Structure 1
């Protein structure tokens, strides 16, 4: 269905949409745009890659075009996204619609990694903004620091929460609440996501007025898949080919490298469970592939470089991006051919979102998840729980098979930095595996940690609680002294040598500690006798202080009697002082010869 026949849109918006190449509307756009433009709150659930971004961008612009022109600092639209990359992408879509003559709305981006919050506040004060796109934390800070922005929010017409379930999963519930308290109650609200959770349902009830719930599902591509899975609608795009491969821990990396090097002219995303794994495997893949393949790394702990890496990968025609789930939600990267999930995601819904980075808006794509033999029930779980049909992937055997794992171990021997990254990656992987939400499938006790350590190409096993007092099989330590492995970076190696020398000097300067058990028997006996004598002296001194002679006892008795008379009011204080003076005179006379 064409844009012109579905709803009345501004000519400039229609022209811009056609320039994008979207000649017809997607199902989610057909269902959402007309309803959202008729003063209705909407809660939209649709498969990833179905065109949800335009489903809220166009209504926001249309609603603002139909009202009175906004002043410089008046905010008409607020779009909140869980990640910087997704917020940046939405911001670019809004910018593409801006036109000084027809759509003169100023738009600003509030995300981390782009300088201090004070700079964002100053930019808003100087330039203003009618539409704000950003992440929850940055928007909340800006509102707290800028009273001008607080007053500008009073004119808000539309609030959009993109990937609403992810916003709540990441613990932004309190932050969202703090933002919403600055917003007018008379507004239109839109919640957009590929999956709905109980928390999203609670948010709908709490913050929306008579919402219209829109659910757009994909039909199973063939009758065969309907018979195979038992359901006619799926949560993954119909144009997606979804695969799994089962391999031993010691063969997992070899299989990954075989696939990557076999598809060197394609564009791929490779997902790992932890930032440390991205740092380790990403750098190893970069070393092994060299200039033949452009390899980029991206994870949540990167601050300033994330947006640059993301934008570079979007522009690339081929290459591989090694990343964590920070890239799993809502990100639109053109022409991704393969999504490889080296580590299965920590929750079931993340599986669908990862796969959704390919096969977007009708294009074909492929997704592959790597599983260990003990993890094969995950296939049935995903097919039933997430309605995502999967097929087994068969890798063609090559005559000249390359032992990539041995090459990775050699890299660790040549560079201490790679060895240390491998250890950190292994430890973080084990910790992540122990916290997996699908704990009935991903059980740490079923994991052969020795074989996993071999799969990480470790030179020796690290000291960690999971390995304490356990018999480890399937791992052979490298025949090399790891203390002698040097950093490839000369400056870093010099610093390490200085630290080692300093530690050695400190140990030499400290007095050597001798165990008590190592002392001679005669010395121990003499110490015991000395201790016994000291104890006896303290006892005698105490007895001496507590012993009184007859005269002293008589004096104490007389003093007690006098004090008793004062309490009974048989004697006043003047009489008491007089008695004491007479006693002192008598004592003085008795002592005088």
Structure 2
């Protein structure tokens, strides 16, 4: 039976109570009921709960209550930081800021500041100096920069009064390689603080982070006994498409289901860029906006995300940058072009729908050799998939391929995007964690080239000695005749093409390095070993000469204090070099070889 907010066994500040009421949520979610009392009773908490379970309010409510109670003793100054929330992505940080912003409308005397990439460090410094910020919502890289850099604000001094630290989506923070950054941040924070760690999965790395950053934490696991790791109101489906028909399967599905608001997860940024150019033409019947977002877009991501949030109908093409913690209203379908790189990411992706008790559906499209993934995801993540029939036929597949090829023949830039997307897709597939099941050697590479509408297959190692008979290139096609739509770019290409026809060498800025680039790997390695050996000999001869000089002086009885000091320094340098505490270049410089 869900608990109401009145059943909390701790008393919340009146202003915080009013802030909670503004959300019109009569009942607490299980994670909120378990976590809030622990944090309010001065406990560190490590919480594991499925995506969409209400983790954001689970840490914001006790955080605000703690800060308000502290303000009764002494009001917070604008540059005193009482709480820090660290998020893995700027989208999640922005979402947390928006939730907190709504709560702060009912709470006086507390301010917040958002510190993430996408804006300049100077702007963040200026904003903090003028407005301050009692609560910092940030990404780890930006916070580390402001703590360690020589900036116009003394942030290490401002966080001396820190009451609470929150690590949101901690497993994702570690997946993105922020372990060293977090260790650096921890070194600046006061040890007498409360820490909340929230994660959808408890990996070995998360356990190590718990031991490093929390003191005797209370472990809360809401999902441990669940029959499934996805929301109850979510229906999961899959379609096994023809090897050359994944695009046709997707288009037919969108047309038949009349999907209003959906997200399509693609394997790479290059795939998002390419299909963003193609989908608006292929999906004219749907009459919905097509949007795109990925990690390399930087400044545009905030604008695209806000446009998708406010749209009643839209299809968002995205990478896994949108897979964690992002709460977008009324997403009715989550679509996956490919199995994600790891099993946990599957759960995070489909968790973008069926949030806050709403209904939602998810679909993954599998190739013929990928059907065993259905049993794998059931066993690994407790996600059961229902099969749907594939309604795409050969006629639809061929029609879509010809439309795409017509577009590529008119624009060289689009043709290059198609090749880049295809190559990046295969390279990403080769990095699957479940590579024993999803083998790149079993991918139908020729048929995939048909799906991408390629004019010809690129030269890449993965295609060597592979059967690609299911790909039909265009007969007598000369790629040099395909122009850029951009006239300036096309003029530059034609000029280079004329020079190539004359000299036989394609003009390039890196032309002077041609010999080095084309040098075989074995020769490069041999030359590197020779250079290393010569450096070793020079160092040894220098040290031998120094030792001999000392011996000679000892025999003569004329060794000086300066000589002994110099010898001592040389020996210390040698020890540091052997222990790899200094680089070869530093050693050579200090010892006098350079």
C-alpha contact 2:233 2:359 (8 A) present in aligned 1 = yes
Q: Could you list the per-position Cα deviations for residues 166-204 of structure 1 after superposition, in whole angstroms to 9, with x for gaps in the alignment?
A: 100110000001111110001000111111101101111
Give 1:400 shift: 9.2
**Aligned residue number for residue 148 of structure 2:** 144
Q: Which digits, 9 at most, give the CA deviation of each residue in 1:477-517, with x for residues without a partner?
A: 1233222112233343333334334544665999xxxxxxx
Runs of 5+ in structure 1 lacking a partner? Answer: 220-231, 511-593
Question: In the aligned structure 2, how far is the partner of 1:397 from the partner of 1:448?
Answer: 18
Q: Is the 8 A contact 1:120 1:142 kept in 2?
A: no
Are the aligned partners of 1:42 and 1:211 in contact in 2 as well (CA < 8 Å)?
yes
Pick from 307, 322, 343: which aligns with 1:348?
A: 343
Offset at residue 211 of structure 1 (A): 0.7
Equivalent residue for 1:529?
none
Partner of 1:64: 67
Most deviating of 104-113 and 142-151: 142-151
Give the match for residue 423 of structure 2: 427
Contact preservation (8 Å) 2:248, 2:396: no
- Would the alpha carbon gap of residues 411 and 39 (structure 1) be closer, same or farther in structure 2, given more than 3 Å must change? same
Which of residues 168, 177, 183 is equivalent to 1:177? 183
C-alpha deviation, 1:29, in angstroms: 0.9
Say whether 1:120 aligns with 2:116.
Answer: no
What do the CA deviations read for 1:530-552 (whole angstroms, capped 9, x no partner)?
xxxxxxxxxxxxxxxxxxxxxxx
2: CA distance, partners of 1:325 / 1:420: 23
Q: Which string of whole-angstrom CA distances, capped at 9 and with x for unpartnered residues, describes residues 227-278 of structure 1?
A: xxxxx62110010001111112211100111122334451000001111111
Report deviation, 1:408: 1.9
Residue number in structure 1 paired with 2:276:
282
Q: Where in structure 2 are there 5+ consecutive unaligned residues? A: 508-594
Greater Rg by CA: 1
> Once the two structures are superposed, what CA deviation does each residue of 1:362-410 show, in whole Å capped at 9, x if it has no partner?
1110011111111111111111111111111224579995732332222
Alignment of 1:512-523 (within 5 A): none
Instruction: Judge conservation of contact 1:244–1:371 (CA < 8 Å) in 2.
Output: yes
2:557 counterpart residue number: none
Matched residues, number: 496
1:400–1:159: structure 2 CA closer, same or farther, 3 Å change rule? same
3-state SS in 2 of match to 1:234? coil
Equivalent in the alignment of 2:104: 98
Q: Distance in 1 between matches of 2:329 and 2:45?
A: 28
What residue is the counterpart of 1:4 in the other structure?
Answer: 6
The 8 Å contact of residues 76 and 109 in structure 2, kept in 1 or not, is answered as no
Q: Could you tell me how far apart the structure 2 residues matched to 1:472 and 1:400 are?
A: 21
Q: State yes or no: 1:160 paired with 2:166.
A: yes
Residue 217 of structure 1 deviates from its aligned partner by: 2.4
Cα separation, 1, equivalents of 2:482 and 2:335:
33
Summarize the alignment of residues 206-225 of structure 1 with structure 2, pairs less than 5 Å apart: 206-217=212-223
The 5 Å alignment of 1:7-86 reads 7-68=10-71, 69-86=75-92
Q: Indicate conservation of the 8 Å contact 1:47/1:218, yes or no.
A: no
Match for residue 210 of structure 2 among 204, 211, 222: 204
Hey, what's the Cα distance between the residues in 2 that align with 1:245 and 1:66? 54
Q: Compute the displacement of 1:32 (Å).
A: 1.1
How far apart in 2 are the matches of 1:263 and 1:18?
37
In 2, the alpha carbon distance for the partners of 1:299 and 1:45 equals: 27
Task: Check if 1:244 corresponds to 2:238.
Answer: yes
Distance 2:375 2:99 in 1: 38
Kept in 1: contact 2:238–2:388 (CA 8 A): yes
For 2:259 and 2:203, locate their aligned partners in 1 and report how far apart those are by CA, in whole Å.
38
Q: TM-score, normalised by structure 2?
A: 0.80
Distance 2:67 2:56 in 1: 17
CA distance in 2, matches of 1:102, 1:54: 15
**CA displacement at 1:38 relative to structure 2:** 0.7
